[in-house]
Amino acid sequence: MAKKILVIEDEDNLGQSIKTFLEQYDYRVSCISDGITGLEAVRDEKPDLILTDLLLPRLHGFDICRTVKGDDQLREIPLIVMTAVYKNAIHKLEAKRMGVEDFIEKPLNFSELLKKVERLLGPATLPEEEIITSEPTQKKKSMDDVIQKQFQDLQQDYASRLPQKIMELEKIWESIQKREDTAKQLAKFRRMVHSLTGSGTTFGFKELTESARQLELLLDMIIAEGEDTIEERKDKINRLLDNMKHHPLVTTELEIMRQMGSNQ
């Protein structure tokens, strides 16, 4: 029976990419985007492995680790912690003291992720469509070759969804400037930008990620200092959104979308 993995990751794009990747190796994967719901899913589903981010909405990843390793019915479930922030030795030591089995830094290396999962759950199954058997002289593709191809597929899928994400951001930003349910819209805006920052880094879109990171910092300042500071940061936010909208990757995908629309 396929091993079950629970992924707790608030960056939806990244969570879905991890799910898509691991399911190709005969693992069953479910994704949760906040800490409290993730912990409830651990109790309900009793997965064979938990893969969790640390900076999560509603409940920190370390609190999930403490709870799981402190529960007699859950403590045997192995944990892999993912993080882009808690990378120091002291954080890894803290995770180890809690009983966490492994630690992986973001941006994720999918080949490294698979190796860590295999270490805890046993060897993965190589996708059948990636095995070359037509000629005796041909060898199976190496696992690294397969992973690289799958990563490129995930990267392309992520790129294809970027224009829609940018357009959603622009609509939310318009609502914020009109002061329509501002606090809620600011929180939503920041979550989406944070997702772009993390996923963009994983998939190697450096310039887009840098604009998203700067935008995230500005939003943090507005949330901390109050909505009255929106106006003084409006021009810079507009420039960053414009940079993201006119990134070559995004404009290419927008052109493809326009062409597909005109052909229908």
Return the pLDDT at 140. 47
The full length of the chain comes to 264
76/165 same-domain check: no
121, 161: one domain:
no
Cα end-to-end distance, the chain, whole Å: 44
Does residue 229 share a domain with residue 167? Answer: yes
The three-state (H, E, C) secondary structure of 169-219, written as one string:
HHHHHHHHHCCCCHHHHHHHHHHHHHHHHHHHHHCCCHHHHHHHHHHHHHH
141 occurs within a structural domain: no
Provide the phi-psi class of 216: left if phi over 0, else alpha when psi is between -120 and 50, else beta: alpha
Q: Give me the chain's average pLDDT, please.
A: 86
Does 241 map to a domain?
Answer: yes
Question: Domain range holding 251?
Answer: 149-263
User: How confident is the model over 198-244, as pLDDT tens digits?
Assistant: 788 888 888 888 999 999 999 999 999 999 999 999 999 999 999 88
Q: Are residues 246 and 184 in the same domain?
A: yes
Number of domains in the chain: 2
Taking each continuous run of H as one helix and of E as one strand, the counts in the chain are 10, 5
Q: Is residue 106 domain-shared with residue 168, that is, in the same domain?
A: no
240 secondary structure, DSSP code: H
pLDDT at 142: 66
CATH code assigned at 176: 1.20.120
Query: Do 119 and 198 belong to one domain?
Result: no
Among candidate residues 240, 247, 252, 12, the one with its CA nearest the CA of residue 156: 252
pLDDT band at 137 (very low <50, low <70, confident <90, very high): very low
Q: Does any domain span residue 36?
A: yes
pLDDT at residue 86 in the model: 67
Asked whether residue 131 is assigned to any structural domain, the reply reads no
- Average pLDDT on 251-260 reads 59
Residues 116 and 162 in one domain: no
Q: Contact 87/127 with Cβ under 8 angstroms?
A: no
CATH number at residue 60: 3.40.50.2300
Residues 9 and 117 occupy one common structural domain: yes
- Based on the fold, state whether residues 31 and 64 are members of the same structural domain: yes
Q: pTM to 2 decimals?
A: 0.74
In a domain, 250, yes or no: yes
Closest Cα to residue 184, out of 223, 158, 216, 141? 223
Q: Are residues 183 and 254 in the same domain?
A: yes
Whether residue 171 is found in the same domain as residue 212: yes
**Which whole number is the average pLDDT over 182-195?**
90
Task: Tell me, yes or no, whether 161 and 100 share the same domain.
Answer: no
